Amino acid sequence: MHAIEEQTALLEAQLANLDFPQTPSNLYDPLRYFFTLGGKRMRPMLTLMSAELFGLPKQKALSAALAVEIFHNFSLIHDDIMDEAPLRRKQATLHEKWNQSVAILSGDVLLVKAYQELCKQDSRHLPELLQVFNKTAVEVCEGQQMDMDFETRTNVSIDEYIEMIRLKTSVLLGCALELGAIVADTTSANKALIYEFGQHIGIAFQIQDDILDLYADPMKFGKQVGGDVLANKKTLLVLKAIELASPAELSLFHSLQNESVPQQKIDATRALFDQLGVREAAREMMDSHYKIALRALEQIQVEVTQKLALKNLAEVLFNREV
Amino acid sequence: MHAIEEQTALLEAQLANLDFPQTPSNLYDPLRYFFTLGGKRMRPMLTLMSAELFGLPKQKALSAALAVEIFHNFSLIHDDIMDEAPLRRKQATLHEKWNQSVAILSGDVLLVKAYQELCKQDSRHLPELLQVFNKTAVEVCEGQQMDMDFETRTNVSIDEYIEMIRLKTSVLLGCALELGAIVADTTSANKALIYEFGQHIGIAFQIQDDILDLYADPMKFGKQVGGDVLANKKTLLVLKAIELASPAELSLFHSLQNESVPQQKIDATRALFDQLGVREAAREMMDSHYKIALRALEQIQVEVTQKLALKNLAEVLFNREV
């Protein structure tokens, strides 16, 4: 079995074994359901890979890895309420399948469970693990609030946007990797570098998400191509377009936001973006974060061959089409 | 200054100093607002008193005390959403003053802040502090879910009701006290006893809450007397009434639930409860938990004079009229 598949299988088995009590069933049934919806399990995999990078058998970082994945699922449950999302991985979200109170409270208890899982690691690592985990958890909340604020703001800058995606999603990748590094007792410099790697891979990944929304191959993409355009979402493509547009092009862009025929809206917006070179500009930003990430990985003081797994993972991520 | 007032002042000063960042303002302004609403600060006071009981200067337990109060406020913010409560301490709740998403996310970040505060205690106590805190946090969520489930259930038993109030509110009092005991490095036996004391004081306190709702002096009671009756809430009085009523009295009780004239509903329900001896039955249950609490306090291995502060506090609580 391929190493990544093997790790995913290990993680799925552990997540399936999360020992939620039977009662109150309205608190724990929703969580049992949510973990059956699957997911890439990318974050806990990063924790395990980081532990291995620094010479620790991955089994010894399992609780830290699970804590990150549990936290991620907590944030998805609450984000889905705030975003009024009806579906998550093509299945009903918790507030849809049960109700909103159930989704709030199940999310709350899941956040506590993340801490319980983290606390299973050796107590000598606890202060440092908690310090990184707490800081990250606060940042993820801040990123979600920024994202919500952007919906009603008209003057979001590209710097603010990058800061939002950094907080909302990228710091958790950095955290996932750093927790593995902490458990493996590596140097402070290595811990900081692996965190940097994760953070910039995360930013690059999110930029790619924005690009794929409009430029993915519809035959391969799992979602509607152009979904962000239809929702008038302020993605990096939009912010870049606003930056690069002439007054006339800007006015065209704004009029397209009210276009009522979906395919027409997507095609015309894509044509305008192509004319402005938005895709290339976004790709450049993505590449620059990808390079920062790789440079951090290079500087980590371990055998070069040890780094291949993470380097390969980064490459796979950036050659994805979905 | 009286000792309790002095401690309250110390805690208020610390809570006013909680260092929430300025931005994102929609995340942190709501929290700044919520902490100005005040409160009895009973839980953190218990942590400080417990530390002092076991010979530790209260300043050394301040972070643990604040963590408990911060957690309590997190749970109030989310409970208010679930209960659709418009007011908290006569002021607008967060989801009313801002919106629901803001209330969910501010609550989330506050729960993380509770952990950050707890982690400021000496790291050698961290594993034990976290073990108690995590367990309690899970239980509080379970209690809130049971409470919500009871709204739509018709067959709630008195045992289930007591278990619900134990989880929803009493364990946090036990936890508050035990955290102080842990920081003060007392014996395992003492830690278990002070937890028992808090837990049973909590149950007795909640039973008293149910009694006061219908039997408080309207001139002294801060809220509408009979509020639970008007809301058809399943309090201990109701469950006791159902247990003690004859079929005819039960039928009268059920018809009163649809009575539309408020004062009529309250007076007739009180008359029926008086006839059934519901108040005395509830008082007996309250007294029995109060006695269990005092017995636990007696068994704690410290100088008797050291226990006076907690004993006095318990007495004050049970002679309250509001």
DSSP state of B231: T
Residue-number span of the structural domain to which A306 is assigned: 187-322
Domain end, chosen from A126, A143, A160, is at A143
How many residues in chain B? 322
Give B78-95 pLDDT, tens digit per residue.
999 999 999 999 999 999
Residues of chain A positioned with their CB less than 8 A from the CB of B130: 115, 119, 126
Give yes or no for residue B180 having a pLDDT over 90.
yes
Here the ipTM equals 0.96
> For B278-299, what is the mean pLDDT?
97
Give yes or no for residue B1 having a pLDDT over 60.
no
Residues A114 and A192 in one domain: no
In a domain, A28, yes or no: yes
In a domain, A177, yes or no: no
CATH of the domain at B254: 1.10.600.10
> For B31-53, what is the mean pLDDT?
95
Give yes or no for residue A50 having a pLDDT over 50.
yes
> For B257-278, what is the mean pLDDT?
96
* Cα–Cα separations (whole angstroms), residue A255 to A155, A213, A260, A268, A273: 17, 21, 11, 11, 14
How many residues in chain A? 322
Asked whether the beta carbons of residue A145 and residue B105 sit closer than 8 angstroms, the reply is yes
Residues A201 and A103 in one domain: no
> For B232-247, what is the mean pLDDT?
96
Q: How far is residue A305's CA from residue A311's CA, in Å, rounded to a whole number?
A: 10
Give yes or no for residue B270 having a pLDDT over 90.
yes
> For B18-34, what is the mean pLDDT?
96
Tell whether A18 is within 8 A of chain B (Cβ): no
Residues A129 and A49 in one domain: yes
Domain end, chosen from B119, B140, B161, is at B140
Asked whether the beta carbons of residue A109 and residue B138 sit closer than 8 angstroms, the reply is yes
Residues B7 and B123 in one domain: yes
In a domain, A51, yes or no: yes
A102/chain B closest Cα distance in angstroms: 8
Q: How far is residue B267's CA from residue B261's CA, in Å, rounded to a whole number?
A: 10
Q: How far is residue A318's CA from residue A82's CA, in Å, rounded to a whole number?
A: 29
In a domain, A130, yes or no: yes
Residues A226 and A322 in one domain: yes
Q: What is the pLDDT of residue B2?
A: 67
Residues B199 and B277 in one domain: yes
Domain end, chosen from B140, B175, B205, is at B140
Q: How far is residue A128's CA from residue B133's CA, in Å, rounded to a whole number?
A: 18
Helix (H) or strand (E) holding A183: helix A171-183
> For A293-321, what is the mean pLDDT?
92
In a domain, A168, yes or no: no
**Tokens representing residue A138 in the block:** 């606060």
Residues A38 and A110 in one domain: yes
DSSP state of A91: E
DSSP state of A99: -
Burial (Cβ within 10 Å: 0-12, 13-18, ≥19) of residue B199: buried
Residues of chain A positioned with their CB less than 8 A from the CB of B101: 81-82, 148
**Tokens representing residue A277 in the block:** 């070179």
> For B193-198, what is the mean pLDDT?
98
In percent, the amount of chain A with pLDDT more than 90 equals 89
Closest residue of A to B150, CA-based? A24
Number of structural domains, chain A?
A: 2
Grade residue B196 by pLDDT with cuts at 50, 70 and 90.
very high
3-state secondary structure of A276: helix
* Cα–Cα separations (whole angstroms), residue B58 to A117, B9, B117: 30, 13, 16
Grade residue A2 by pLDDT with cuts at 50, 70 and 90.
low
Residues A71 and A135 in one domain: yes
Q: How far is residue B224's CA from residue B213's CA, in Å, rounded to a whole number?
A: 8
Tell whether B41 is within 8 A of chain A (Cβ): no
Q: What is the pLDDT of residue B311?
A: 95
Phi-psi region of A13 (alpha: psi -120 to 50; beta: other; left: phi over 0): alpha
Q: CA-CA-CA-CA torsion for B290, B291, B293, B296, nearest 10 degrees?
A: 170
Helix (H) or strand (E) holding A92: strand A91-92
Residues A107 and A214 in one domain: no
Assess contact for B78 and B102: CB atoms under 8 A: no
Grade residue A1 by pLDDT with cuts at 50, 70 and 90.
very low
Scanning chain B, the segments in alpha helix (DSSP H) are 3-16, 25-36, 42-53, 62-82, 94-97, 100-118, 126-152, 158-165, 171-183, 188-215, 227-230, 236-244, 247-256, 262-276, 278-299, 308-318
DSSP state of A169: I
A265/chain B closest Cα distance in angstroms: 30
> Could you tell me which residues are beta bridge partners of residue A87?
A92
Residue B69: how many CB atoms within 10 A of its CB?
24
In a domain, A163, yes or no: no
In a domain, B193, yes or no: yes
In a domain, B8, yes or no: yes
Judged by average pLDDT, the poorest of A220-229, B38-47, B193-202, B227-236 is: A220-229
Residues B220 and B319 in one domain: yes
Q: What is the pLDDT of residue B6?
A: 84
Grade residue A219 by pLDDT with cuts at 50, 70 and 90.
confident
**Tokens representing residue A209 in the block:** 């998400």
- Cis check for the bond before B218: say yes or no (omega within 30 of 0): no
Give yes or no for residue B143 having a pLDDT over 80.
yes
Residues A198 and A303 in one domain: yes
> For A270-283, what is the mean pLDDT?
97
Q: What is the pLDDT of residue B322?
A: 66
pLDDT, mean over chain A = 95
Identity of the residue in B82, B109, B141 whose CB atom sits nearest the CB atom of A141: B109
One-letter amino acid for residue A260 of the chain: S
Residues of chain B positioned with their CB less than 8 A from the CB of A146: 24
Give A163-177 pLDDT, tens digit per residue.
999 999 999 999 999
Residues in B 84-143 with any Cβ partner in A closer than 8 A: 100-102, 104-105, 107-109, 111-113, 115-116, 119, 123, 126-127, 130-131, 134, 137-138, 141-142
Residues A2 and A132 in one domain: yes
Give A228-269 pLDDT, tens digit per residue.
999 999 999 999 999 999 999 999 999 999 999 999 999 999
